Structure 1
Amino acid sequence: MSVLGSRLLFLLALVVSCQPFCNAQSIKLADGGKSSYNIIIPGNASETEKKSAEVLQNYFQKVTGARLDIREENGQNAAMISIGSTKLAARLLKATTIREDGYAIVSEGKNLVIAGAGTKGTLYGVYTFIEKYLGCRKWYTGPPQIPQSRTVSIPANLSLYENPAFEYREAFFPGVRDQEYVDWHKLHQFTKLWGSWGDTYEKFVPASVYFKSHPEYFGLVKGKRVPNQLCTSNENVIKIIIDSLQRKMNANPNAEYWSISPNTGPGYCECPLCAPTTAREGSVAGNLVLMVNKIAAHFPKAKFTFLAHGYTQQAPKYAKPASNVIVQLTSIESDRLLPFTQSPSAENFIKDLANWRKLTDNIYIWDYCAQFTAYLAPFPIVPIFQPNLQFMKKNMIKGVLEQGSGPGYTDMGELKGYVLAKLLWNPDVNVDQLIQEFTDGYYGPAGPSVREYLSAMRNAAVKTHAIMDIFGNVADGANTFLSPKYLDQYNDLLGKAKKAVGSNSVLLQRIGALQLTQDFTYLHQARYYGKGQRGLYSNNAASRSTVTQDTLQGVLKRFLDNGVKVGGVQVAEFGLSPGAYAAEERKILSAPVRQNMAMNAKVSLKFPYEKRFEGKGAAALTDGVAGLGDYSYNWLHFKGHPMIATVDAGKSLKADSIQTSFLYNPGFNLFLPASIKVEVSSNGTDYITLQTINVPEPVKIDRQVKLVPFKIATGKNNRFRFIRVTATPLSDFPDWAWAPSKTPVIACDEIWVY
């Protein structure tokens, strides 16, 4: 904390925000490009105070043309802008209540004071002054917007005090690539604050080092020790973590937080030491809390976090986190169309939060603001930001991570990052005003058209009850807000925006970023539609039409061009670059059209498919479109029961083979069926079994995503009208992938007959 911070009286726990009062008089800091002011810093100025003075000096000169000298205070300074913990600041602000990161901007006579608490409070105050009174803006990465004004005045009797709503504030969007953007908008970065982040068991007790010699250090799952997770009751495990932490802390003394959390993936220890605690606490999180408390006791001045996520999301009944332990609760299951308080999908999150609040006041929220399976998919969720953050503030949440696409580009990442940054500081700010300010400032004369575009997309999403799933896909919206009708409307509005900016290359590139998401939608949905005007090939499904090819190639070229200009683009969290995606698309377009004798045949299902990835429903099994590596479209999912699909070709067929494929992606609980049986019939009543395939269970750890085909020859039974495919899922997960309270899922793309 700065010297000033130690002098301030920390009396209030709420944000104090006093709007500047301006009487008929004002104070001129610059007049006609000249100024009599100096910037004054304390004699023992900190590095942040020196930087704050230099930042103010730089922007003041760029705006007015006047360069202010930076001097140490000497008691005789006149006409000064005081920065940091000067004697003037101590005198003027001695009765104020500024918390960590908070600041004050106060005038007395001709003098102005900008000072804050904590490491960066003064710097945050300077950037607020630069934005509020010099008119500068930092919309996104890159150079800020700096107006020219040779005269600058501030209100007399200026008195502005601000404190943050949350002690930890992170909007993980592309703005994080720019350190000035982070400081300007008063944000934090977990990469700089945490010495260990996220899931960390493997980092502290690596299975490659300990599992073979000490399997008892790891979780007992269904009677077997597996290397997925740790035994949290084992004292040797706790000692190893403490020793590892000490080494890491010595190497990284500036880290404020240390995460101790389960590895990504399923499984938790059921050994005789852990199981009774789980039963008593009613949650696996009880064991985690008790272990982290023991570790935290060895480092009382450090802050520890753990993830309340997955099977640790539910709060224990009795185990209270220690005073230096913070719960990091995730909202991963919540749909993003509506705010938490209006969304049925958020009911468990709200319940879990209430139960954790009974145990501790130290809670951070890890929230999600992007579609991770399709960063470039339109995801119009800005209107939920304010009510969700107001909900968090009301529930006394201390810190918030709003996870977007990180340094990579995502749909409207510029606006989303900007709005979230402002709301993380003050959840009650006027969002409509923020959006207008941003769109007019960032898109220039295209601002009104961009707002029309945003409103049209949001209104369509709400009207059609679209699913805003963070693991969704543009195919999900094909029947809602991303239908051809709506996509045409959005593209017309972008055309209007493009026309408004004329030949301005900077603004054209910014409109191009919006176009990037629409073109991605068009290209990705072409894979989903398969045939027809918006698909990969013509309606007869036997060839690709020239019109379709030309249209797709044109969109593909524009997509690639805009992707290169925008930079830092990948289509999903672990997805392809625009260039790699374009290459994949061209490969699909150049491949021969695959024929299916059962094309568009009626499909009857004995058990329902998973609605979350509904797509075309049962029709997906005979639409002639093969699935790719993305599980969220062109795959029909079945959970908790077999897939028993009967295809009625409508006429007798003579075919040599029947083939179907299943997707293997254990990261999303997708496993191959335990068995696949294929039968055929001429009358739909009497069936002949062609083959039953028993699929080996993956005994060893295998997380590689695979598309696995199963081909059955018809042999002498090559005449039939009906095909029945029965795919039976695993009864439980393999030991290495065990996931309590979850069920193995199977996903099938097509029943090919040829």
Structure 2
Amino acid sequence: MFSLFSEYIAKAFKCLLILLFVSSCEDKNITLVNKGASDYEIVILDSSTKYSSQSAEILQNYLQKISGIKIDIIEESSQSTKTHKVYIGNVLNENLQDQEISIKTENKNLIIAGGSDEALRNAIYEFLERYLNCKWYAPNVEDIPSLKAITLPLNINYNYNPEIKTRTVHSRLFYENHDFADKRKVTYEAFPFYVPNGKVHTFHRFLPEEKFYKSNPEYFALRGNKRLPTQLCLTNKKVLEIVKDSVKAMFQRYPESSVISVSSNDNTQYCECGNCKEIDKEEGSHAGTMIRFVNEVAKSFPDKTISTLAYQYTRKPCKTKPLKNVLITLCSIECDRSAPITEKCTDFADDIKGWSALTENIRIWDYTTQFTNFLAPFPNFNTLQPNIQFFRDYNTKWVFEQHSNNPSELFELRSYLMAKLLWNPDANVDDIITDFTNGYYHEAGSYIKSYVDLIHKELKKHPDFFLFLYGDPSQAFDAYLSPDLLKQYVTFFDEAEKAVADKPEILKRVKVARLSTDYAVLEACRKSISEDFKLSEDTKSLIENFTSVSSEANIVLMNEMGYTVKDYGSAYVKSIQVALQPNIASGKKVTLLTKPKKYANENPQALTDGALGGSNFYSNWLGFEGNHLEAVIDLEEEQEISTVSTAFLQVTNHIVFFPKEVTYYGSIDGNRYSKLGVVLNETPLNKKSKVNDIQYFNLETKPSRLRYIKIKAENHKKAPYWHHGAGLPSWVFADEVIIN
């Protein structure tokens, strides 16, 4: 009897403990939804705007996705007798700054507020991500939990005011998907608030060369003893009047715009007239003439912002302070991306510090992709956070991260990571990458994370490596893209594909992610870096797969010069054909009669080494600056010759042009040469010339027995007057010579 009574007491006590525990948990939590019901309603303040209502609907929608329960939205004045509320708006009358967000609980009510409509929307997404674990990895790729109960801590008291106020990631994922941009809290366009046709490099828009140069050459830069339409003469008063009139007209045409760029053209051919030179000397920087000029423009538009560039020759700060309505856009184009700016680009770091002492109105134009090869491996993830933190610490409220806009290596991850860091520069990068790779690539995520970790680890082993925005994979074949490492990267992606072989949509994502490794392999084969990586019939299947995956993923461009994946595929197939055809010049000695410069180690054997150049001049091309190419190939013995061919590269924005013509000569003794023929450029240089291209200058001649072949490629010598590099030496780049 006593035993039964004791058992009863023990059970009762246990039940009491459970009740107390449950009660205690309930006291420490808010339960928005439980068992298919909610005693909450979403309340919009009477003072709210239509954007507040939209934010409330976003919250309602995601709470329903999570729990299946649609919580009612009501206006403040129409609140029901339901016990608890989710207030959307500043019901606590906090003194919130424009971008500040607030998430709080009070008396079991949830309060989500922001200092502006945009901040309120940011607060909604921050709440969903931070407290309900919602994930948005890419447009239409989200991970939303499914819960029977939605509970929150009782004591939430979260405020956050992002230090970087205008956050832009130059990615079409955001520009084409505004909902996704909202979730990641970045802008919808590269130049928000700007006059549409006045965004950057605007001098040529204000005074077009076609309209003013011939009649008024004095408006333009004096270079040596000649005026050239490369830049404007900023001490010419008439130029100032024309620019002011143009700015006024543009603002009148676009009255909703608040910013316009008054900035240099994209070259370093500044004016060297006496007046401009004197000011720049006095100011200690070529920015001197620029800031004085822009300040004069800004005085006429006190209610607008006049943006200008601290870029290349104007990057160093001057002595004159920019006016308060002048926005300094500071560009990091020259920097090495293998380490933080403070370590490997100290001149730029000093310039930021200098400008921050002159103004608080700074916009950073940073670069995060290899623009000559969008799809190339570019291991710069470890530099992103320290650079953004550095920008933040020196008065930068506006950061434009120039991603490629078009897809590049690990495009979705890059876009996601950049947006995360702009919102919170102190976030944990490794956690972000791990979360993304697991969420976006599912079971394949660990392999892709292993690739990311390894390639960055290998780069660190080469502290002297310059990771350049305008570089090429070929520069890394003895570093992080060595043959052994390429094999390992291929293995990672092979395993990743196997892991999701039964998930077609995820498999597509993995195939797109491995394009950068496939591209590096293709370029390694083009250069024949080892027995495992050389051009062969088998390489055709790799280039076919590369172009097929790219096409299916709507990846069109290989670089910023408009070189397409289709162009690349066609040129690559041609490279295979060239590599596989007989070539009696292969490996033969080359003697140069003119001097090359810088590229391909200035090694004349680049013309006969069997390593073929790609679309970038770093990729095995022998370059000649301002002079013709003249070379002699010794075939070692007399042979019957009927065809000669040489490949040439064109990259017009870098002053690399096809030769005007190529003349081939033949000789038996190496002393007396006879002309075999002349091959003219099929596409003579003009303003509309293809920016990035490869052309084969082929000659078929009457068969002759010859030992020596001489090649002369005629350089343009200088860029034409209409080119942004007018007056500068032009380049000729040549590669493999095929003789049969």
What residue is the counterpart of 1:374 in the other structure? 373
Residue of structure 2 equivalent to 1:428: 426
Displacement after TM superposition at 1:104 (Å) = 0.9
Q: Hey, what's the Cα distance between the residues in 2 that align with 1:725 and 1:315?
A: 48
What is the distance in 1 between the residues matched to 2:190 and 2:728?
30
Q: Is the 8 A contact 1:52 1:123 kept in 2?
A: yes
Task: Name the amino acid aligned to 2:451.
Answer: Y
Contact 1:114–1:125 (CA<8 Å) still a contact in 2?
A: yes
- Matches for 1:43-58 after TM superposition, within 5 Å: 43-58=46-61
Q: Following TM superposition, by how much is the alpha carbon of 1:148 offset from its aligned partner in structure 2, in angstroms?
A: 0.9
Deviations 1:54-93 (A, max 9, x none): 11111111111121222221396652111124xx231xx2
User: Following TM superposition, by how much is the alpha carbon of 1:155 offset from its aligned partner in structure 2, in angstroms?
Assistant: 1.3
Conservation of the 8 A alpha-carbon contact between 2:451 and 2:492: yes
Give secondary structure in 2 for the equivalent of 1:138.
Answer: strand
Q: Deviations over 1:688-708 (max 9, x none)?
A: 576899x99x99867655667
Residue of 129, 132, 135 corresponding to 1:131: 129
Q: Residue 190 of structure 2 aligns with which residue?
A: 190
Question: How has the CA–CA distance of structure 1 residues 554 and 205 changed in structure 2, closer, same or farther, with 3 Å as cutoff?
Answer: same
Please give the secondary structure, in 2, of the residue aligned with 1:567: coil
Q: Offset at 1:142?
A: 1.8
Match of 1:333 in 2: 334
| 1:385 CA drift (Å) | 0.9
Q: Which moved more, 1:196-205 or 1:626-635?
A: 626-635
TM-score normalized by structure 2?
0.85
Greater shift, 386-395 or 205-214, is seen at 205-214
Query: Which of the numbers 61, 83, 93 marks the counterpart of 2:88?
Result: 83
Q: Distance in 2 between matches of 1:743 and 1:334?
A: 24
8 Å contact from structure 1 (residues 476, 614) kept in 2:
no
- AA at the equivalent of 2:390: F
User: Which letter maps to 1:552?
Assistant: T
> For the Cα contact (< 8 Å) 1:266–1:737, is it kept in 2?
no
Q: Which residue pairs with 2:180 in the alignment?
A: 181
Q: State yes or no: 1:240 paired with 2:237.
A: no
Q: Residue 450 and residue 657 in structure 1: after superposition, are their counterparts in 2 closer, same or farther (change >3 A)?
A: closer
1:186-212 Cα offsets, whole Å, 9 max, x none, are: 112324332221211223333333334
Check 1:211–1:191 CA distance in 2 against 1; reply closer, same or farther (3 A cut): same
The secondary structure found in structure 2 opposite 1:750 is strand
RMSD in angstroms over aligned alpha carbons?
3.8
> Does 2:545 align with 1:558?
yes
Distance 2:570 2:630 in 1: 36
The one-letter code of the counterpart of 1:84 is G
Alignment of 1:331-730 (within 5 A): 331-343=332-344, 346-406=345-405, 408-464=406-462, 466-529=465-528, 534-536=533-535, 548-549=536-537, 551-589=538-576, 593-603=580-590, 613-614=599-600, 617-624=603-610, 627=613, 629-638=615-624, 649-650=635-636, 660=646, 662-671=648-657, 704-705=690-691, 719-720=706-707
Q: Distance in 2 between matches of 1:713 and 1:418?
A: 54
CA contact (8 A) 2:221 2:228 kept: yes
When residues 713 and 688 of structure 1 are mapped into structure 2, their CA distance, relative to the original with a 3 A threshold, is: farther
Which runs of 5 or more structure 1 residues have no equivalent in the other structure?
A: 1-21, 537-547
Q: Percent of counterpart pairs with the same letter?
A: 31
In the TM superposition, residue 531 of structure 1 has moved relative to its aligned partner by 9.8
Change (3 A) 1:590 1:646: closer
Q: CA deviation at 1:424?
A: 1.0
How far is 1:291 from its partner?
1.6
Residue 131 of structure 1 and its aligned partner are, at CA, apart by: 0.9
Could you say what secondary structure the match of 2:42 adopts? strand
Aligned counterpart, 1:101: 99
Pick which of 150-159 and 243-252 moved more: 243-252
- Specify the code of the residue in structure 1 equivalent to 2:89: G
- The structural deviation recorded for 1:630 is 3.8
Look up the SS of the partner of 1:194 in the other structure.
Answer: coil
Query: Equivalents in 2 of 1:162, 1:291: separation in Å?
Result: 39
Q: In 2, distance between residues paired with 1:682 and 1:72?
A: 96
The one-letter amino acid of 1:202's match is H
Q: Residues of 2 paired with 1:268 and 1:154: CA distance?
A: 61
Query: For 2:140, what is the secondary structure of its paired residue?
Result: coil
Question: Is the partner of 2:736 in helix, strand or coil?
Answer: strand
- Is contact 2:592–2:631 with CA below 8 Å preserved after alignment? yes
1:448-504 Cα offsets, whole Å, 9 max, x none, are 222112122222333356542211222323333223322221111112112222411
* Contact kept in structure 1, 2:606 and 2:622, CA below 8 Å: yes
CA contact (8 A) 1:267 1:737 kept: no
Quote the Cα distance in structure 2 between the aligned partners of 1:226 and 1:474: 36
Question: Secondary structure of 2:135's partner?
Answer: coil
Give me the whole-angstrom Cα distance separating, in 1, the residues matched to 2:638 and 2:376: 42
For 1:364 and 1:205, the matched residues in 2 are separated by 25
- Which shifted more, 143-152 or 205-214? 205-214
Query: Does the 8 A contact of 1:732 with 1:744 survive in 2?
Result: yes
Shift in CA distance, 670/439, structure 1 to aligned 2, threshold 3 Å:
same
**Using the alignment, how far apart are the partners of 1:520 and 1:414 within structure 2?**
18
Matched with 1:116 is 114
SS of the residue 1:57 aligns to: helix
Instruction: Find the partner of 1:160 among 149, 158, 172.
Output: 158
Q: Read off the aligned partner of 1:282 and give its amino acid letter.
A: G
Q: Which residue of 1 aligns with 2:19?
A: none
Contact 1:665 1:703 in 2 (8 A): no
Deviation at 1:183, TM superposition (A): 1.1
| Secondary structure class of the residue paired with 1:405 | strand
When residues 46 and 609 of structure 1 are mapped into structure 2, their CA distance, relative to the original with a 3 A threshold, is farther
Q: How big is the shift at 1:369?
A: 0.9
Q: CA separation of 1:680/1:236 partners in 2, compared to 1, >3 Å: closer, same or farther? A: same
Contact 1:131 1:137 in 2 (8 A): yes
Q: Is the 8 A contact 2:585 2:738 kept in 1?
A: yes
> Which one has a bigger Cα radius of gyration?
2
TM-superposed deviation, 1:658: 6.6
Q: 1:276 to 1:595 in 2, by over 3 A?
A: farther
How far residue 640 of structure 1 moved from its aligned partner, in angstroms, is 8.2
Q: Is the 8 A contact 2:88 2:111 kept in 1?
A: yes
Residue of structure 2 in register with 1:18 after alignment:
none
The match for 2:70 among 67, 72, 76 is 67
Q: What is the alpha-carbon distance in structure 1 between the residues aligned to residue 654 and residue 33 of structure 2?
A: 61
Q: Which residue of 1 aligns with 2:138?
A: 140
Counterpart residue type for residue 87 of structure 2: S
The aligned residue for residue 5 of structure 1 is none
- CA-to-aligned-CA distance 1:523-549 (integer Å, 9 cap, x gap): 34433339965333xxxxxxxxxxx32
Instruction: State the partner residue of 1:249.
Output: 251
C-alpha change, 1:273 and 1:633, in structure 2 (3 Å) is same
Is contact 1:530–1:623 with CA below 8 Å preserved after alignment? no
Number of residues paired by the alignment? Answer: 705
Q: CA deviation at 1:602?
A: 3.9
Deviation at 1:351, TM superposition (A): 3.2
Deviating more after overlay: 445-454 vs 351-360 = 351-360
Structure 1 position 219, deviation (Å): 2.8
Q: Is residue 657–residue 753 contact of structure 1 (8 Å, CA) maintained in 2?
A: yes
Q: Which residue pairs with 2:10 in the alignment?
A: none
In 2, distance between residues paired with 1:614 and 1:388? Answer: 32
Q: Which amino acid aligns with 1:116?
A: G
- In the alignment, structure 2 segments of 5+ residues that lack a partner are 1-24
Judge conservation of contact 1:81–1:113 (CA < 8 Å) in 2.
Answer: yes
Structure 1 distance, partners of 2:452, 2:110, is: 40
The answer (yes or no) to whether the contact 1:595–1:624 under 8 Å persists in 2 is no
The letter for the 2-side match of 1:631 is F
